[in-house]
Amino acid sequence: MNSERKGCGLIAIPIGLIIFFGAFFVVWSNEGRVDLSVLAEESIPVTGDSFSPENDGKLVALSGTIESDSLLGDDPYLKPVSAIQLVRNAEMYAWDESGDEEDGYSYRKVWTSSPENSDNFDRPAGHNNPPMEIRSQTFKVPEASIGRYTVLPNEMIFGQVDDLAISEGMVSGGRVSENFFYNGNASPESPEIGDIRISYSAYAADQFTTVFGEQQGDSVISWTDGESIIYRGYALDRQGGIDALRTEYLTALWGVRAASLAMFYIGLLMAVSPLTNILGYIPILGNVGKRVIAFATFVVAFVVWLITLIIAILLHNLIALIVVLAIVGGIGYFVWSKRNQEKSPEDLDYGTTG
């Protein structure tokens, strides 16, 4: 049995604590994330068919048809196509391991862009994954234009790309099946371990696009306020691009929030793993004890995560912090004044009367 699979013992305690305390930093950093859609709301609408020198140095939303004299290809696989951005999505047919030490491991063959290192398998014999020789990659044209303005796709982030339909005439050295290019002798009907298949997605040229960035003369480049950077392209109008930025912000925000909760839970679970393993040797407790500890650990992790999240949100949001402090202060004053009103005359010290 691979020693890494045991994952228990004293070494799990410091690793778990590192993960647990690292989650505090992740929560704090994530709540300081800037919502770029708020900044984009201040952008100045600009169309590609007009030139406005008064907008130099300002954040603009340039809209129009994006064009380029360059083509994009993926030699030696895909011949050049008319696109501003081209993404190669490579997958290898590989062994995938699932299960755990207690219930055992199972193996199946899957197409995956991230094949596992078979050296770490519980039973590597007969389940060997070769190195993946072709990886996913992104290509962009160096320069494009929207009307009278030049933009630099190499430095830009595009909000969405579409699947590129490929045919036999667009590729070389393999076969095409269901929009996948099977490299070399790879077969879509009976693939073997190590076979590679490729699909493509692209941001097409000659489509309506809105680019958020800084106008500099007849170019729109990356904009920054010293902390945040905006240089985005969307196949949408200005408001659609702002809405897309908002969606990206919320997706990233809640994704990291979920990941930080997992870090709290996994870190705490690893820290108490020696106790969990001891219970495994007690026949009467066994799995029941493990489940109780796992549930209790999750409850503790969730409470710590929620409190940390609330504090981080308040400290990063001055207005929310002021409102909460005002509410707490108001409640405190109400309780204090109520208690004073309920005091009887005998409880009050009026001093000695003659």
* Longest CA span, the chain: 114
Q: How many CB atoms lie within 10 A of CB 81?
A: 17
Q: Which of these, 194, 158, 204, lies nearest to 65 by C-alpha position?
A: 204
Q: Which of these, 51, 46, 84, lies nearest to 66 by C-alpha position?
A: 84
Strand partners, 30: none
For strand 59-67 and strand 44-47, is the pairing parallel, antiparallel, or unpaired? parallel
Q: Which amino acid is at 222?
A: S
d(CA 142, CA 146): 14
What totals of helices (H) and strands (E) does the chain contain, helices first?
A: 7, 19
Q: Of 117-126, 278-287, 302-311, which has the strongest mean pLDDT? A: 302-311
Region 129-136: what's the mean pLDDT? 94
- The first and second tokens of residue 285, run together, are 């407790």
Assess contact for 204 and 82: CB atoms under 8 A.
Answer: yes
Mean pLDDT of the chain: 87
Its pTM stands at 0.78
Q: Which residue has the tokens 């929009």?
A: 179
Assess contact for 145 and 151: CB atoms under 8 A.
Answer: yes
3 state SS of 279: helix
Split at pLDDT 50, 70, 90, the class of 319 is low
d(CA 83, CA 204): 4
d(CA 152, CA 221): 7
In angstroms, how far is the first alpha carbon of the chain from the final one? 93
Q: Which of these, 97, 115, 114, lies nearest to 5 by C-alpha position?
A: 97
In tens, the pLDDT along 189-222 reads 999 999 999 999 999 999 999 999 999 999 999 9
**Res 92 pLDDT > 60:** yes
Q: How many CB atoms lie within 10 A of CB 147?
A: 18
In tens, the pLDDT along 253-274 reads 999 999 999 999 999 988 887 7
- The first and second tokens of residue 124, run together, are 């590597």
pLDDT value of residue 1: 42
**Res 51 pLDDT > 90:** no
Assess contact for 112 and 94: CB atoms under 8 A.
Answer: yes
d(CA 167, CA 170): 5
